[in-house]
Structure 1
Amino acid sequence: MAEQMKPPSSDNRSVGRAAAVVGERWSLLIVEEAFDGVRRFQDFRSRLGIASNLLSTRLNKLVGAGVLERVTYQEPGGRNRDEYHLTERGTDLRPVLVALLHWADKHLPH
């Protein structure tokens, strides 16, 4: 009787590990906006039209994965706020986003 091979876990595959971090639509769009210079929560929310709770969850996930870092700044009047900056890990995603852009332009035109 032939022994059945068990498929490798997605946790052990490079693409599966990457997808666990940025393989979701909003996460990729947040990273894309960060490349365009967006840093503040409200700016991400306004530009993407994403619900606050969903944005908060995605930003926390990207911070936890080391793609973004949270940097506290002080607004006029003394209120502390957070900005989100791409880390080296985040900036290394640029070729991925460019490849997705080219793929979409070629295969999923408007």
Structure 2
Amino acid sequence: MEWLEVSTENCTVQRTLDLVGEKWTLLILRDAFNGVRRFDDFRRHMGLSEAVLAGRLRTLVTSGILRTEPYREAGSRTRHEYRLTRKGRDLWPVLVALRQWGEAYVADPEGPILDIRHSGCGAPVRVVVECADEHVALTPVEVTALPGPGARALMPE
């Protein structure tokens, strides 16, 4: 079966984008990875409306990417902070890859606003696609994509 013969209705890339592919969702995750936890801080830092932010946070919590944790400041009602779950933390390489691509192709001439480095040695961090056995970096021309066990034949129109 060739790629154009495979139905994409159950594609995991499509399912992932349905969940986190919206711009504000990715920016909320960016901020969460950089320590933002509270609703007002997200709103203030990103400048999006309360309604959009509330909706995106609700989706991220419902999907298990963020979890809420109650907190209460003196004289105020109980509110919730948003914390990344393991499922959420597993999206970190995706955001690093987007940043890496952006730095290569659409970077600000003054340089990056965030410099991500390995805490142990200080070297820059990068995302690499590698062979699981040989641990060597691969390019798209060095891999073969075959239909997987979930592939379904495309139904003729």
Whether the TM-score (by the shorter chain) exceeds 0.5 is yes
1:17 offset after TM fit, Å? 1.1
Q: Report the residue type matching 2:74 in the other structure.
A: P
Alpha-carbon distance between aligned partners in 2 of 1:48 and 1:8, rounded to the nearest angstrom: 33
> Bigger relative contact order, structure 1 or 2, given CA contacts below 8 A and separation 6+?
2
Aligned pairs (5 A) from 1:1-110: 5=5, 7-9=7-9, 12-110=10-108
Give the partner amino acid of 1:19.
L
- Any gaps of 5 or more consecutive residues in structure 1? none
**In structure 1, distance between residues paired with 2:6 and 2:37:** 44
Q: Name whichever structure is richer in helix by fraction.
A: 1
Q: TM-score, normalised by structure 2?
A: 0.63
Structure 1, residues 8-53: CA drift from partner, whole Å, max 9, x if none?
21xx111011111110100000001001110000000000001000
Give 1:7 deviation, angstroms: 3.3
The share of aligned pairs that are identical, in percent, is: 45
Residues 95/81 of structure 1: CA separation in 2 closer, same or farther (3 Å cut) = same
Query: Following TM superposition, by how much is the alpha carbon of 1:78 offset from its aligned partner in structure 2, in angstroms?
Result: 5.0
The alpha carbon displacement at 1:99 in A equals 0.2
In structure 1, C-alpha distance between the alignment counterparts of 2:49 and 2:101, rounded to whole Å: 28
Max Rg structure: 2
- How well do the aligned residues superpose, as a CA RMSD in angstroms? 1.5
Unpaired stretches in structure 2, ≥5 consecutive residues: 109-157
Match of 1:83, SS state, is strand
Between 1:100-109 and 1:43-52, the stretch displaced more is 100-109
Cα separation, 2, equivalents of 1:108 and 1:15: 23
Distance 1:51 1:78 in 2: 22
Letter in 2 for 1:70: T
Deviating beyond 3 angstroms after TM superposition, the runs of 4 or more aligned structure 1 residues are none
